[in-house]
């Protein structure tokens, strides 16, 4: 099964694709979709939706997974995240993909073993779980973690 992990963000959305067969996982691809901070919001959202649609067409995942939205202290940041997430989820919806949603703490716990893991711990665990996989950056690493967590969590549900 091909699982597309998503880490939506208006500034740079990460995506990561893994193959899960029972307890075994393997890296397939990953990347990041940056947007121009000076571009109008509608353009930035269209860039995200189009780029993720292309990833879906090229790789044909069986399902997708994303972190549940969390509230920032800054309401503007939360709103921008929600809009980016909407564009990313729309790409999945247009393609007919099921999207599983997981809390950030649950993703960290599933990948690292603790819900309070930091980015360094996640990246270190990714190196162990996906040896030799070239990771495009921090946002792609987070997306791969979401995909891995989804593979583990849906096996146990």
pLDDT digits (tens, 9 = 90+) for 51-94: 999 999 999 999 999 988 776 678 888 889 899 999 999 999 99
The annotation places the binding site at: 7, 67, 139
* pTM of the predicted model over 0.85: yes
The model's confidence at residue 157, banded by pLDDT at 50, 70 and 90, is very low
Q: Which residues are annotated as a binding site for Mg(2+)?
A: 7, 67, 139
Give the model's pLDDT for residue 71.
66
Gyration radius of the chain's alpha carbons:
15
Q: At residue 45, does pLDDT exceed 60?
A: yes
What's the average model confidence in pLDDT over 105-123? 91
CATH 3.30.420.10 for domain 2-156: yes
pLDDT digits (tens, 9 = 90+) for 124-133: 999 999 999 9
* pLDDT (average), residues 24-43: 97
Residues belonging to the active site: 7, 67, 139
pLDDT of 77? 84
């Amino acid at each position: 099964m091909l699982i597309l992990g998503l880490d939506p963000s208006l500034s740079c959305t990460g995506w990561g694709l893994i193959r899960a067969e029972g307890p075994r996982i393997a890296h397939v691809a990953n990347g990041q979709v940056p947007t121009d901070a000076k571009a109008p919001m509608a353009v930035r959202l269209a860039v995200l939706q189009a780029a993720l649609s292309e990833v879906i067409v090229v790789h044909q995942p069986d399902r997708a997974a994303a972190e549940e939205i969390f509230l920032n202290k800054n309401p503007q940041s939360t709103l921008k995240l929600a809009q980016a997430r909407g564009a990313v989820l729309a790409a999945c919806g247009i393609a007919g993909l099921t999207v599983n949603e997981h809390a950030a703490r649950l993703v960290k716990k599933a990948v690292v073993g603790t819900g309070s893991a930091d980015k360094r711990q996640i990246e270190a665990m990714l190196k162990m779980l996906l040896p030799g996989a070239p990771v495009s950056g921090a946002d792609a690493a987070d997306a791969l973690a979401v995909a891995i967590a989804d593979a583990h969590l849906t096996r146990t549900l």
